[in-house]
Chain A
Amino acid sequence: MQSTKPDHGWNWWYLLLLAQFVPALWVPFYNSVEPTWIGLPFFYWFQLVLVFICAAVTAFVYWITEASQQQ
């Protein structure tokens, strides 16, 4: 597992991870009641759904960076 390449701690796929900061912190985008979903205001369900989307993105970056390290 030890890589022989110098490791600078950076991989361009990490940009996908950092992109998660934007929807999470862009408050004006989600500070509204409509559209509601099963009675939940947008403010609440959007942020809950975002948890799953971001976890999926992190999992994707995990697979792709681990795969590239194996080579």
Chain B
Amino acid sequence: MRDINWVALIVFVLLFGFITWLGFAAAHWRRGDLDLLNEWGLGGRRFGTLIAWFLIGGDLYTAYTFIAVPALAFGTGALAFFAVPYTIIIYPILFIVFPRLWSVSHKHGYITAADFVRGRFGNRWLALAVTLTGIVATMPYIALQLVGLQVVIGGMGFVGEGWVGDVPLIIAFVILAAFTYSSGLRAPAAIAIVKDLLIYITAFAAIIVIPIELGGFGKIFAAVPAQKLLLAVPQGNTTGAYGAYATLALGSALALFLYPHSLTGILSASSSHAVRRNAALLPAYSFMLGLLALLGFMAIAVGVDKLPEYAQGFALFKANFAVPALLLHTFPSWFVGVAFAAIGIGALVPAAIMSIAAANLFTRNIYREFFRAQCTDRQESQMAKWVSLIVKLGALVFILFVPTQYAIQLQLLGGIWIIQTLPAVIIGLYTRWFNAWALLIGWAVGTVLGTIMAASVNFAAMYPLAIGGWTFPSYIALSTLVVNLIVAAVLTPVFNAIADKAKDETLASDYAM
């Protein structure tokens, strides 16, 4: 711990202290009975358009995204920009599909996607599959948020030195765990406002100041090697990088709102109209993410990885250090403190929501469904609070003791797994044509096949499908979803013939806005 950047550190700690206070104070915000899971885990479904904008924005555009997308631009180039079409097409999906889920959940008191599936299909095992997928896909995502935090703490000079280097991360984690436990979803909602303002300030300052210093975007992109500047044009019988880019964007978009933390954000909105308004307002974050992706190219132009003062950071965090290094290189220390706090706090908001979402799932769809059907509302809420702690502890242990690479690979698999719940959750919002058992088998086939395909390409996102002399490199989540749907469609008449359909507790009018 030789070269600690004291000014940046003091600013960082002050801002962190402020949001810690805010996190605890949030328990009294729009006061509700925190002994009810609906209040602790969904903020009482009372967030209007503006607060929902901050909350969902802070939830979907995570700290890890802000580190990893520019890092991908820095290391790989144009492919990183898939984040832009990806975050364009999520909003038509949000607008059309999710007000229906909001309405039916509001009507029946559903808190999780699995609650809905249980009510709609009347099959607890299908609901269990949705539950387990959600929890397992969320865990590595929480761990990656802590990686974002680790990188900025490292950027301020806390590196190496064995366990002492981990102390700041552990402190941040304890703060996160404590305010989530006491305030529930109100804490990240309140903190998201501060975090998002800081992130916008950082992004716009960086996108204005750095190009001026470097002599304009023309000079920046002139420094980018040709193979990173654009996608490679496909040669011969393949869709090449074009297919990879488009399927990655489409598959990621279809998967996004199936993640438990996305759903928690949506369900906490005060009306289905607030959800729709946000589909038009949230793209502001997509624009900012695009600007942040450009920082990766600025880091190439500056050549931050060749500067000796950042050698240690790059050795530890690889390309993930590109943005912190660029900020350190460009800005005065106090502003580095602001920017790093934005990223650090940006890790706590989604981590809190993810742990709440996982806790809601466990409590509602495993504990109450399989073990304690008669539990009181108070017991249910208390169990969720404990589970949120356990989930975060698991993520911390993972990050401290397991190489980061595994968390990244698991998060990638998480995307492939979570999309397999699309037929039950999203298609289920429109039709009950599919048989629950057929959906369950489709889910299992998609999950197993996706895992095998990912493992066979050494845990990359793309699998080169070979069909009739053509090669289609495509996002595994998307191709396995197609298999899942075909299996479910083929088996539906079979199961309908041998078993009676369970009761559907929802009515067509429950889905209306």
A residues at B contact (CB < 8 Å):
1-3, 6-7, 9, 14, 17-18, 20-21, 24-28, 31-33, 36, 38-41, 43-44, 47-48, 50-52, 54-55, 58-59, 61-62, 66, 69
| A-side contacts of B100, CB under 8 Å | 9
Closest Cβ–Cβ distance, residue A33 to chain B (whole Å): 7
Q: Do the beta carbons of B286 and A7 come within 8 Å of each other?
A: no
Q: Do the beta carbons of B229 and A47 come within 8 Å of each other?
A: no
Interface code B231-243, partner A: CB below 8 Å = 1, 0 otherwise? Answer: 1010000000110
| B-side contacts of A54, CB under 8 Å | 88, 91-92, 283
Complex interface residues of chain B between 234 and 287 (CB less than 8 A to chain A): 241-242, 245-246, 249-250, 273, 276-277, 279-281, 283-284, 286-287
Q: Do the beta carbons of A25 and B290 come within 8 Å of each other?
A: no
Interface residue from B230, B291, B513 paired with A43 (Cβ < 8 Å): B230
Q: Do the beta carbons of A24 and B242 come within 8 Å of each other?
A: no
* Given A6-B508, A27-B242, A66 contacting B273 (CB threshold 8 A): yes
Q: Do the beta carbons of B229 and A31 come within 8 Å of each other?
A: no
Query: With the chains together, A5 CA to B508 CA distance in Å?
Result: 11
Query: With the chains together, A54 CA to B85 CA distance in Å?
Result: 10
| A-side contacts of B277, CB under 8 Å | 62
Q: Do the beta carbons of B280 and A33 come within 8 Å of each other?
A: no
Q: Do the beta carbons of B287 and A39 come within 8 Å of each other?
A: no
Majority-rule SS of A interface residues: helix
Stretch from B12-20, B217-225, B370-378 at the A interface: B217-225
Q: Do the beta carbons of A52 and B287 come within 8 Å of each other?
A: yes
Q: Which residue of A lies closest to B97 (CB)?
A: A9
* Given A24-B88, A33-B229, A51-B88, A7 contacting B290 (CB threshold 8 A): no
B residues at A contact (CB < 8 Å):
78, 81, 84-85, 87-89, 91-92, 95-96, 100, 211, 216-221, 229-231, 233, 241-242, 245-246, 249-250, 273, 276-277, 279-281, 283-284, 286-287, 290-291, 294, 429-430, 508-509, 511-513
What are 7 A-B interface contacts by the 8 Å CB criterion?
A14-B95, A20-B89, A33-B230, A47-B84, A50-B84, A51-B87, A54-B91
| B-side contacts of A55, CB under 8 Å | 91, 280-281, 283-284
Q: Do the beta carbons of A24 and B513 come within 8 Å of each other?
A: no
Query: With the chains together, A48 CA to B230 CA distance in Å?
Result: 15
* Given A7-B512, A9-B100, A21 contacting B92 (CB threshold 8 A): yes
Query: With the chains together, A41 CA to B508 CA distance in Å?
Result: 49
Query: With the chains together, A62 CA to B99 CA distance in Å?
Result: 12
Q: Do the beta carbons of B81 and A51 come within 8 Å of each other?
A: no
| B-side contacts of A7, CB under 8 Å | 508-509, 511-513
Q: Which residue of B lies closest to A37 (CB)?
A: B217
| B-side contacts of A25, CB under 8 Å | 85, 89, 246, 249-250
| A-side contacts of B84, CB under 8 Å | 47-48, 50-51
Closest Cβ–Cβ distance, residue B200 to chain A (whole Å): 15
Interface residue from A3, A31, A33 paired with B512 (Cβ < 8 Å): A3
Q: Do the beta carbons of B95 and A39 come within 8 Å of each other?
A: no
Closest Cβ–Cβ distance, residue A65 to chain B (whole Å): 8
| A-side contacts of B218, CB under 8 Å | 36, 38-39
* Given A39-B216, A54-B91, A1 contacting B287 (CB threshold 8 A): no
Query: With the chains together, A48 CA to B294 CA distance in Å?
Result: 11
| B-side contacts of A38, CB under 8 Å | 216-218
* Given A48-B290, A59-B280, A21 contacting B89 (CB threshold 8 A): yes
Q: Do the beta carbons of B513 and A69 come within 8 Å of each other?
A: yes
Q: Do the beta carbons of A31 and B81 come within 8 Å of each other?
A: no
Closest Cβ–Cβ distance, residue A21 to chain B (whole Å): 5
